[in-house]
Structure 1
């Protein structure tokens, strides 16, 4: 008798009947937490105090995930999302929660993670949160493109939640207003180009010296397309650049100097670069397409100022800034007469940081390139320092902190975009004899679950 293969059911993906769940709290990723049959159930979109109708979509041994169908009893802090694209777009995930409750949740999530994984945090260690505007705070965004072969149109927008699909948008309420206003006209423009089937992402930036757009292209543009882009940039008073397959950036249009900054910021190829000021205008920080910069300009300014206040740099001190980027902390630290060393793993950002030091006439500042997750024993810059600042990516700075005994700083300021890795790395500092003195939540990303934090450690 012939036998046919029959796949075994995937128990982790079996859908349950619809359930009534009571949500008690949020996890640090913004999902509601409920209990069902002795398991923790995560319900994205649900809020503490709510009774909801949901369906289990994934079941593990100790927890399950569920899809929210209906809020039967809403929480007092539930609000209607302001953005018309909220249910589809993957950019924001807490717009259904009022802003004060969002901030309370982030503060609690940060202290709970630190207390659970590193050290018990008491009220004397918690500094006042740094908060700012809840809407139109992003000075930079990357929009994805997708050419629809059926409709012959190019879609411009953000990725859908947990998907590679594009949600075509007309506006974005967390983007700076001038950038949000460019989305619809840019969509219309790109659909006029002959190259619309081969275009990549579009990066928009609002800087202190004007608006910037970088269009990713996979093939050389035809003259007619270039002219359309140039005319569009001129009519919108915007600097326009294109980036090719080799990541080379070429300027198509620069706003005349009488309508942009008089102090033109340009790279070696003469392309004008976006810039922002730090340390009450004492220094300018310039960055290129692809360089990391904090998207919330106001919170970044205040974060840098707080880090400097905590470090209290003194003349002739040696201060090390790891994961320094283009000099966001290093440049203002160097204005305090300390000897500052910045180290970064991305060569392009190291080059830009060096140029920024030259442009600001900072001779007490040096930058080095290094893989900060590798063996640093032979690094020329590694040695005894007075103070240390770290601003790593989400993965944290665990490997770099293994060299702490060689550096022996009196103070450490750790800036983190992932409280879980901050808590893990705090254990290393505590084991090395450091004590947590201050912990601060910075609301860098309102309307999302993302938490920016900063911690001050001092040697006992």
Structure 2
């Protein structure tokens, strides 16, 4: 019998009785689903086919949540989590499930959710694209480490947040992070604890870029010169681009040293090889964390949109030009729109660096009234890559845009399904649905859907 939770006595709190439930399936968030007294019970950590001993921790009118105590008959897809921090860290939540089973579950959940919440008919099997997958481990090229200073021990703790908590779980390795970054955890923690002003250290962002490794250390006040020298020595030893970031977001490069005070800090960049595009980005701004999957995703978007010379293509939520720049390489006229001003400026610079004069970038709040935006008008094709909230407000302008094709890239199947109903109501049909395994070992589902305007 697999044991997951050891109950601690708590005389001041009435605990629910232990229950034995049969888990029949997973929800789209990766929790096991069972039934008890007419209610759906969600059990995080349980897998289909398992008989689970659980304890209810939350009860609503139509559903309940339970914590997993033990499993009597482990499912064939259950595996021993690879990471030693798995039971505490909030970063991954599906390591107990075989990778192939994870992928099959996510694809099924994606297709079912789109059909259910968008009021679409069941997605035909021939419309489901081959999943985009790659290495399930060491795929993350970026991580943000949280810090907390313990006044009693005078020690700075460095790690990730615990699941559903602000508590820091100290980490000495992370198997979903690029190995070269994971290996920095222990020496970085030791180094930061040598600083006189270690209580002033905020989060630390680590990035593996095509032009080297970057570490951005957030500081709440100026560090003494002795700390600066110590950090610079650490960066030189580990060949890191080391930058400090203050309360205003201003970046100061410590290593390698800049030739003059006017010289701009070195920014990390990645290449999109198939289109010979280089994308630079500022630490803290969004980029896809899985480089190999991102490359494949961009390739699929180009294949689905099939951009032609002279076409007008709109890329909403464009970031630093991840899709816009490769599309422009195909000689289409591309318009990128983004809500973060700093990312718009970086996208413009990226266009210059890539010698592209057929792409234009604009700043706009894409959840607001867009009727007066100069760029809004008839287009040939549309690409959407919104945050978890989705693109519902932007899609209210479909009649004015009238694209023949729409590629929707989503990190939230629920908002994707909701937004799909808008497209379907406006005469579009689902031509392709693709699961993208951007975040193996977690419940998160990335997806791409191609919509085509009906004739």
- Report TM bin, short chain: over 0.9
CA distance in 2, matches of 1:70, 1:268: 61
CA distance in 2, matches of 1:177, 1:421: 33
TM-score normalised per structure 1:
0.94
Q: 2:401 aligns to what? A: 407
CA distance in 1, matches of 2:248, 2:16: 49
Q: 2:414 aligns to what? A: 420
Q: Report SS of the residue matched to 1:277.
A: strand
Distance 1:256 1:221, change over 3 A: closer
CA distance in 1, matches of 2:285, 2:200: 24
1:293 to 2:287 alignment: yes
Deviation, structure 1 residue 124:
1.4
CA distance in 1, matches of 2:323, 2:53: 47
Q: What does 1:432-451 align with in structure 2 at a 5 Å threshold?
A: 432-451=426-445
Q: 1:240 aligns to what? A: 242
CA distance in 1, matches of 2:38, 2:68: 19
Deviation, structure 1 residue 152:
1.3
1:39 to 2:33 alignment: no
Deviation, structure 1 residue 115:
1.2
1:184 to 2:178 alignment: no
Deviation, structure 1 residue 269:
4.6
Unaligned runs of 5+ in 1: 1-12, 258-266
Task: Show CA shifts across 1:69-109 (max 9, x none).
Answer: 11111101100001010000000000000101000110011
CA distance in 2, matches of 1:418, 1:21: 29
- Report if the CA contact (8 A) 2:277-2:354 is conserved: yes
Q: What does 1:305-454 align with in structure 2 at a 5 Å threshold?
A: 305-454=299-448
- Report if the CA contact (8 A) 2:269-2:281 is conserved: yes
Q: What does 1:63-82 align with in structure 2 at a 5 Å threshold?
A: 63-82=63-82
Distance 1:255 1:206, change over 3 A: farther
- Report if the CA contact (8 A) 1:15-1:58 is conserved: no
CA distance in 2, matches of 1:98, 1:336: 39
TM-score normalised per structure 2:
0.95
CA distance in 2, matches of 1:198, 1:44: 37
Q: 1:170 aligns to what? A: 172
Q: 1:57 aligns to what? A: 57
Q: Report SS of the residue matched to 1:272.
A: coil
Q: 1:231 aligns to what? A: 233
Q: What does 1:138-287 align with in structure 2 at a 5 Å threshold?
A: 138-254=140-256, 269-280=263-274, 282-287=276-281
Q: Report SS of the residue matched to 1:372.
A: coil
1:98 to 2:98 alignment: yes
Q: 1:21 aligns to what? A: 21
Task: Kindly report the root-mean-square deviation, in angstroms, between the aligned alpha carbons of the 2 structures.
Answer: 1.4
- Report if the CA contact (8 A) 1:237-1:255 is conserved: no
- Report if the CA contact (8 A) 2:136-2:441 is conserved: yes
